[in-house]
Amino acid sequence: MEFQEIWHLAISIAVLTLVFAFQGIDKLDVMIHLLPILFVAMIFTFVFHELAHRYVARHYGFVAEYRMYPFGLLLAAVIALATNGWLKFAAPGAVMIHPKIDLWGRSRQMNMKIQGIIALSGPLVNIIIGALALVWTFFTSAWNEYAMAVASINIVLALFNLIPFPPLDGQKIFSWNKIIWIAMIAVTAGMLFFV
């Protein structure tokens, strides 16, 4: 992982943590309490989601790296402030995927299946982490506040990303395999019930 990608991830995590911790100008004490919890949750949610896309894309022979979307981060902060913490919306960035060109000028083409599998990897990682965090809360009371934050944010992020509209992952998964998309929606919605 190169410095620029680490820097973009770090800025995105910082902004997302602040936006989601902000519960209103009159609740700064709550925000201070939530900052470390949400920082950990963002690493286990957002970073692992993006790294899953990156890893799978590279597995298929593509060049892939995370790039933040400054306007999306700014918009997230403005919406949170304008609604006094009531509405959270974030478009922090995405893994940019490009064909890798070999010495002979050939490149691998992305078909609908590969695009669907790459898109699937992010929400799937969120579902797995969310499930593990939920299981944690059932068996121990240690770090429960962290585990519940990790579980709920992962499940909400998975559900949001499964919406079948571009540029979300759900659109690519739905276009490739509707049965897998329905199964992922059903599992994630079921997990939401426990949260």
* 114-140 confidence digits (pLDDT tens): 999 999 999 999 999 999 999 988 887
Query: Is residue 103 scored above 70 in pLDDT?
Result: no
User: Per residue in 8-62, pLDDT tens?
Assistant: 999 999 999 999 999 988 888 889 988 998 898 898 899 999 999 999 999 999 9
Its domain, for residue 183, covers 3-194
In whole numbers, what is the pLDDT of the chain averaged over residues? 91
CA distance 132 to 129: 5
pTM of structure:
0.89
SS3 content of the chain, % helix, strand, coil (to 5): 70, 10, 20
Q: Where do the DSSP E strands lie in the chain?
A: 62-68, 93-99
- Could you tell me which of 35, 30, 46 has the C-alpha nearest to residue 84? 30
Tell me how far apart the alpha carbons of residues 161 and 178 are, in angstroms, rounded to a whole number: 15
C-alpha 79/C-alpha 16 separation (Å) is: 12
For the chain, how many structural domains are there in total? 1
Helix (H, G, I), strand (E, B) or coil at 140: coil
